[in-house]
Amino acid sequence: MDNFTKGLFISCDIPMAQFIIYLNNMLPKPQKFIIDVLDNTHLFVQPHVGEMIQNVVADFRNRNSYEKPA
């Protein structure tokens, strides 16, 4: 019998994939969310973490963006 896992497919550039892998590695084992790293730009993750990843990435981008002084 085949085993199927419901998940979320993420397609991104290499630096973003590495950032998501880093997020996964920072969590304790029971909270890890990556099901499979398909290649350098594609990840298969648990479906409940999609919004969390978006929020963390948005926060990271906001903290690391340059705003020209007025």
Residue 25 has which token pair?
């590695």
Q: 14-26 vs 50-63: helix axis angle to the nearest 10? A: 110
Could you give the CA distance from residue 49 to residue 40 in angstroms, rounded to a whole number?
19
* pLDDT reported for residue 1: 67
* pLDDT reported for residue 43: 96
pLDDT tens for residues 12-61? 999 999 999 999 999 999 999 999 999 999 999 999 999 999 999 999 88
Q: In whole angstroms, how far apart are CA 4 and each of 1, 7, 10, 24?
A: 10, 10, 18, 21
Class of domain 8-61: alpha beta
Is the CB of residue 17 less than 8 Å from the CB of residue 41? yes
Domain boundaries, the chain: 8-61
